Amino acid sequence: MRSFAIAVIAAFTLLGAACGSDDESSTNDPDPTTEQSDGAAVDGADDAGGSAPADLGDFAIAVPAGGVVTSDDVTNGARVVFVSMPVSEFDAVVAFYDDWTADQEPEFQRVDAEEGGVAWVTANSSIQVLAPLEGDEQVLIGLTVADG
């Protein structure tokens, strides 16, 4: 099942690269608050202990506070970032991206997977929160933005 989820992320990556827009306004700006490097925990929780966007340089998708960037690569014209979070945060991560995508242009389309994962997709970007398997300690989040 995990290999299927990785295949879905790869498909969205290729789709994003193939369907990238020339419209510069399609890049989302999450109003970054902290700097992030590969493999480090994302800082930036607000005073109430909630999530805040993180800065991955010029990356256009916000990352919930407390996430750990496990991979940050450019493949086929798309930047692909993987973030892990404690499995106990799955519902909070889904709520974070429901809220974050609601205010973005172009509009993200939410897709709920039968296995419990959730994806949000536009013509040039995607967010996938993979459903944890029994025994998993981390939730994997895949973020893809194609060059427009």
Predicted pLDDT at 55: 54
Give residue 66's identity as a one-letter amino acid code: G
- Answer yes or no: pTM beyond 0.75: no
Predicted pLDDT at 7: 43
Predicted pLDDT at 22: 38
Where is 91: in which H helix or E strand? helix 90-102
* CA atoms within 13 Å, Cβ hemisphere of 57: 7
Q: Tokens standing for 77? A: 């014209």
Q: Tokens standing for 69? A: 């960037």
Predicted pLDDT at 42: 45
Predicted pLDDT at 148: 62
Question: How confident is the prediction along the chain (148 residues), in pLDDT tens digits per residue?
Answer: 444 444 445 444 433 443 443 333 333 434 333 333 344 444 433 333 333 345 577 789 999 988 889 999 999 999 999 999 999 999 999 999 999 999 999 999 999 998 899 999 999 999 999 999 999 999 999 999 998 6
Q: Tokens standing for 68? A: 């750990």
DSSP state of 77: T
How far is Cα 18 from Cα 114, in angstroms, rounded to an integer?
A: 26
Q: Which residue has the tokens 């999530």?
A: 51
How far is Cα 47 from Cα 40, in angstroms, rounded to an integer?
A: 21
Give residue 43's identity as a one-letter amino acid code: D
Predicted pLDDT at 45: 36
How far is Cα 34 from Cα 46, in angstroms, rounded to an integer?
A: 12
* CA atoms within 13 Å, Cβ hemisphere of 30: 25
Predicted pLDDT at 119: 98
